[in-house]
Amino acid sequence: MEALPGAPQAGETSRLGLTMFRVALWLKSPRPYLMLIGFALFLGFWYLAVEVWKLPRFREMPGLTSVVREWLSPSPTYGLSIYSAEYYQHIAMSVWRVAQAFFLATALGVPVGLLLGWSRRFKEYVFPVFETLRPIPILAWVPLAIVMFIATESAVVYLAFLSSFFATALNTMLGVQSIDESYVRAANCLGASRWQVFRHVVVPGALPFIFTGLQISIGVSWFSLVAAEMVSGQYGLGYIIWTSYVMVRYPTIVIGMVTLGLVGYTTSAMVRIAGDYLMEWRVRELALAER
């Protein structure tokens, strides 16, 4: 969004002020404490079910204490904890793959989605093919991906890219279609050309949907990455989970899973923050509606 001369100063301070205000409001509300209670209940159940009550089916699972001890141990039994360099290599590898897949999916998915929503002709050519490919699960793509890309690395990124791309493109298309016809008409009345309508109405109007799409996209990118890493690959969190299963290192499986959850949550929070930054108008509207 371009800022008007004279406006940016005021805009910057109010944006920071608004963020601070929302954080303060959040801390004053019961929400952060409810969140902590939620985590405590979940972890407490895990601990009790596995280690105290030894419930059927839970009995075989790695317990909370053994996972935490292993995770925080300077000399872990199975070789992987927050003190081992290898742990961070796995994380970095997965993050790097997701980043490539996500940026590729965004760079291609957003324009394709905009075109699908904007041009009826383009949609008629492309959408049926798109809808045929979209429901194919990522695991069904594995054999072809391996055949197509000789290097496993690009095959893994390709698999993580695919479902991301579909989520982004579909949401972007719906975003364009959701734009109230009056905005386009108003822009026409005000003398905007077709390209100006695209730039000033279609793109910003679709942005809320685009960011919903990107949130879904980063999520599906993570779970298809893990599927891909389980099948092929030598590093990464999916690879850890799978090899730990094969090698009977149960606590390490859970370390891999929890790490995935945390890293995944962080990346989708980053997407949300980027969205809030680009759509200040929406943040302010929602703040007024106390949501």
- Token pair, residue 134, equals 């979209």
The helix, strand and coil proportions of the chain, stated in percent and rounded to the nearest 5, come to 80, 0, 20
Choices 34-42, 141-149, 166-174, 175-183; region in contact with another protein by CB under 8 A: 175-183
Supply the minimum distance, in Å, between the C-beta of residue 109 and another protein: 21
Q: Out of 10, 25, 55, 136, point to the residue binding another protein (CB under 8 A).
A: 10
Interaction of residue 183 with another protein, rule CB under 8 A? yes
Asked if residues 190 and 159 have their Cβ atoms less than 8 Å apart, the reply is no
Choices 2-10, 104-112, 141-149, 218-226; region in contact with another protein by CB under 8 A: 2-10
**Alpha-carbon dihedral 216, 120, 127, 272, rounded to 10 degrees:** -10
| Cβ nearer to another protein, comparing 60 with 181 | 181
Supply the minimum distance, in Å, between the C-beta of residue 6 and another protein: 7
Choices 15-23, 82-90, 124-132, 190-198; region in contact with another protein by CB under 8 A: 190-198
**Radius of gyration of the chain from its Cα atoms, rounded to whole angstroms:** 23
* Range 269-288, binding another protein (CB under 8 A): 279-282, 284-285, 288
CA 61, CA 246: separation in Å to the nearest integer? 15
The DSSP secondary structure of 141-154, one letter per residue, reads: HHHHHHHH-SSHHH
Asked if residues 174 and 143 have their Cβ atoms less than 8 Å apart, the reply is no
Supply the minimum distance, in Å, between the C-beta of residue 167 and another protein: 23
CA 140, CA 146: separation in Å to the nearest integer? 11
Q: Out of 98, 114, 159, 187, point to the residue binding another protein (CB under 8 A).
A: 187
* Range 202-231, binding another protein (CB under 8 A): 204-205, 207
CA 114, CA 197: separation in Å to the nearest integer? 13
- Sites of contact with another protein (CB under 8 A): 1, 4-7, 10-11, 180, 182-183, 185-193, 196, 200-201, 204-205, 207, 279-282, 284-285, 288
